[in-house]
Structure 1
Amino acid sequence: MPKPLENEQLTFPILIGDIGGTNARFSILVDAYAEPKQFPNVHTADFTTIDEAIQVTVLDKTSIQPRSAILAIAGPINDDEIPLTNCDWVVRPKAMISDLGFSDVLVVNDFEAQALAIASPAEQYREPIGEHGETSLASRVVLGPGTGLGVAGLVHAQHMWFPVPGEGGHVDVGPRSERDYEIFPHLTPIEGRISAEQLLCGRGILNIYGAVCAASGIEPVYKDPAEVTTNALSGADPVAVETISLFSTYLGRVAGDMALIFMARGGVFLAGGISQKIIPALKRPEFRQAFEDKAPHSHLMKTIPTFVVTHPQAALSGLATYARTPGSFGLATDGRRWRG
């Protein structure tokens, strides 16, 4: 097992990768002052392995050969072979060092990268949700509905930011309102329970939509979450409108729970493509009402700002920030950094 190398600078140029269940995004950071060199997004289903994807879409396309790599992956990091949660790739850092020419590979959780990105987000890349739109130098939380539901905290202490990865997307979610009790019996559970991720992701939108249809005694017509969101935002379909209203409500409840767990006075940030697409729905009352409805701490919740992260490559931005200034972050590397 590799030894801890806390806050030690990686050698430039650095390959930066954000590996999700559906898409992988790569860039190369030539030095601490350069802007990352971006490469086209990769569909994970198009390549058998991550090594093949890196070789074909990055290394074969540039004369800049990275010395190090920082990879953010969707899944827990427990061993030298790291399977991704929502796709068939397995990250093998030792093989990357021997086969792709890296001298140093650091692997972090994908939502650690999102957490790094919210340490100092540029104002133009955050869209306030609710009246309170100012951050403070205090702990924060990021949630990202996408292929799954990612959650991470960012704790501020000792003049440093400490990203806290976890699997918060798999907490239980239960019914509260009268309408919830009509809908929840029709939701598709996972191993007997309704987790946040069963509702707050792409397939979660379809899960809610199907349950609303069943509870209302009508046949579903949409098979793609994008169809539901499009028809909800346009107001063309009342069932789609209710689906995204409920999605916003459930997201508000879970976001509020995470804010309480981390005492996230510095703000709660919603990342990912779904959040960006449904900003008009999130700006309606349901999200903030559900977020703040946390008696006996509703007054506290009203003071916590919420934002949608609108940066097109937020995770890569967070990793680049860490690569430039690792001393600003208490990022644990023990068991997650490999050297040739």
Structure 2
Amino acid sequence: MQGNLGSIAERFVAADIGGTHARVALVQVAGDGAIDVQAYRKYNCAEFPSLTAILADFIAGQQGGTERMAIASAGVVLDGEVINSNLPWRVSLAEMRRELGLRELHVINDFAAAAHGAGRLATGDLRLLTPGVDTSRSGPMLVIGAGTGLGAAICISTVHGNVVLPTEAGMTAFAPVTPREIEILRWLQRDSRHVAVEQLVSGPGLANLYRAICAIDGVATQFTTPADISNGARAGDAQARDAVLSFCALLGSVIGDLAVISCAGSVHVAGGVLPQLLEFLPHSDFRARLVDKGAMRVFNERVPVWLIENERLGVLGAASWYQQHLRECADDSRADNNTARQEWAGTA
């Protein structure tokens, strides 16, 4: 890594790796901080034998600017490997760096990247889910999303740049509120006493909700995928509609909990399953569960919740993190061009 701000203008690869899709871009960050996406591709992870294969395919189509890479990935880095149950393959950072011929390799939590990227979005990339709420509030920004799993991060703006705290919020215990949810919890506990919230609030979680509701109601399942379940709900299937409305309520409850924990000034919901269910949101208990936090109701009633409608969020976030990282390291004589730095947001 070069010890001057000129390196910020160089091209590099920024990637956003989830359990279902990998989004990869060749980007350039100019001296004024603007991020220029010069090439972009979206991959289906299941179609490739490894993450390295996806990145190699992308690099093969580019000319220059591919020796440095910033990757946003679900999970955590432990002993040089990305640990996450939602990724379809083992990911060794040392092997990836060697096989791709990288000079620099950085890995950050996918929702830490989302938190960095949320500040890069245009007004047209956001949809307000809580109309009537003052959107000029200050305070930490909570970024959350329910896709293959449930992720969340907290972003705090400072004069020195953003401080982002990644979390593993999806692994916290599911807390039922209604008698129906208590039944669902008992059904899910047949396999394990610990039921993580992402077992209900995620794409696979919607399927779990539907199966549990069918089992409780003594009805045979008809649908398997989140898309099929949401279509079934539109067609009037009682259990599918119950599952979708339950999902919306639980998402509101989780957002409300995390907003209280983080004292959020705003909440940004990143894509995932929710865009498929927007028409159900007004008919669900999403808003009621979001604010139903006892003495903290008055706080949550004032928190604006936005839906992010830009699928390049993670790529923009990885690039934004890399830009800030370069600035922080510009005068660090200890930086070494020949050593891959495997970083997690907050540990740089």
Task: Write out aligned runs for 1:33-182 (5 A).
Answer: 33=34, 35-56=36-57, 58-131=58-131, 132=133, 134-158=135-159, 160-182=161-183
Give the one of 15, 18, 21 matched to 2:19.
21
Q: 1:146 to 1:189 in 2, by over 3 A?
A: farther
Matching residue of 1:239: 239
Residue from 25, 28, 31 that aligns with 1:30: 28
Please list, as runs of the form range in 1=range in 2, the aligned pairs for 1:266-305 lying within 5 A after superposition.
267-305=266-304
Aligned length: 328
Q: Contact 2:230/2:240 (CA < 8 Å) preserved in 1?
A: yes
What is the Cα deviation at residue 209 of structure 1? 0.8
Verify the 8 A CA contact 2:70 2:107 in the aligned structure 1.
Answer: yes
SS of aligned partner of 1:77: strand
Greater displacement, 36-45 / 160-169? 36-45
CA distance, structure 1, for counterparts of residue 213 and residue 239 of structure 2: 7
Tell me which residue corresponds to 2:184. 183
Contact 1:256 1:291 in 2 (8 A): yes
- How far apart are the structure 2 equivalents of 1:297 and 1:172? 21
Provide the C-alpha distance between the structure 1 equivalents of 2:24 and 2:211, rounded to a whole number of angstroms: 36
Q: How big is the shift at 1:64?
A: 3.1
The Cα shift of 1:92 comes to 3.2
For 1:310, the equivalent position in structure 2 comes to 309
User: Contact 1:127/1:307 (CA < 8 Å) preserved in 2?
Assistant: yes
1:38-85 per-position Cα deviation (integer Å, ceiling 9, x unaligned): 3332222222222222112x1111223423100011111122233443
User: Given that residues 146 and 202 in structure 2 are in contact (C-alpha distance below 8 angstroms), is that contact kept between their aligned partners in structure 1?
Assistant: yes
1:240 and 1:305 map into 2 onto residues whose CA distance is 29
The aligned counterpart of 2:218 is 217
- Aligned-pair CA distance for 1:276: 1.7
1:22-48 CA distance string (max 9 Å, x none) = 211100013425621333322222222
Cα distance 1:172–1:8, how it changes in 2: closer, same or farther (>3 A)?
farther
**Deviation, structure 1 residue 285:** 4.9
| AA in 2 matched with 1:278 | L
Structure 1's 329 and 182: CA in aligned 2 closer, same or farther, altered over 3 A? farther
Counterparts in 2 of 1:317 and 1:329: CA distance versus 1, 3 Å: farther
Residues 67/29 of structure 1: CA separation in 2 closer, same or farther (3 Å cut) = same
Q: Which runs of 5 or more structure 2 residues have no equivalent in the other structure?
A: 330-339
Change (3 A) 1:181 1:52: closer
CA distance in 2, matches of 1:86, 1:195: 14
Q: Is the 8 A contact 1:279 1:308 kept in 2?
A: no
Note the alpha carbon deviations across 1:122-154, whole angstroms, 9 max, x for none.
211111112216143420111111111111111
Letter in 2 for 1:286: D
Cα offsets for 1:128-181 (capped at 9, x unmatched): 112216143420111111111111111234453211112111111122223323
In 2: Cα distance, 1:8 partner to 1:91 partner: 31
TM-score with structure 2 setting the length: 0.85
Q: Against the structure 1 CA distance between its residues 247 and 135, is the aligned structure 2 distance closer, same or farther, given a 3 Å change threshold?
A: farther
Q: Normalising by the residue count of structure 1, what TM-score does the alignment of the two structures yield?
A: 0.87
Give the residue type in structure 1 aligned to 2:199. Q
Cα–Cα, structure 1 residues 48 and 35, in superposed 2: closer, same or farther, change >3 Å?
same
Q: Tell me: CA distance 1:20–1:65, structure 2 relative to 1, closer, same or farther (3 Å).
A: same
CA distance in 2, matches of 1:62, 1:120: 25
Matched position secondary structure for 2:10: coil
Please list every run of 5 or more consecutive structure 1 residues that lacks an aligned counterpart in the other structure. none
Q: For 2:136 and 2:313, how far apart are their aligned partners in 1?
A: 18
Contact 2:35 2:319 (C-alpha < 8 Å) held by counterparts: no
The code of the aligned residue for 1:12 comes to E
Deviations 1:292-315 (A, max 9, x none): 000011011100111111112211
Aligned residues with identical type, % of pairs: 25
When residues 108 and 190 of structure 1 are mapped into structure 2, their CA distance, relative to the original with a 3 A threshold, is: farther
CA contact (8 A) 2:51 2:91 kept: yes
How many angstroms apart in 1 are the aligned matches of 2:88 and 2:180? 38
CA change 1:213–1:79 in 2 (3 A) is same
Partner of 1:36, secondary structure, is strand
Give the structure 2 partner of residue 193 of structure 1.
194
Residues 186/179 of structure 1: CA separation in 2 closer, same or farther (3 Å cut)? same
From the superposition, tell whether residues 8 and 81 of structure 1 become closer, same or farther in structure 2 (CA, over 3 Å): farther
Contact 1:12 1:66 (C-alpha < 8 Å) held by counterparts: no
The one-letter code matched in structure 2 to 1:317 is: L
- Contact 1:199/1:205 (8 A) holds in 2: yes
Distance 1:9 1:90 in 2: 31
1:175–1:184 Cα contact (<8 Å) kept: yes
| Closer, same or farther: CA 217–36 of 1 in aligned 2, 3 Å | same
How much does 1:216 deviate? 2.0
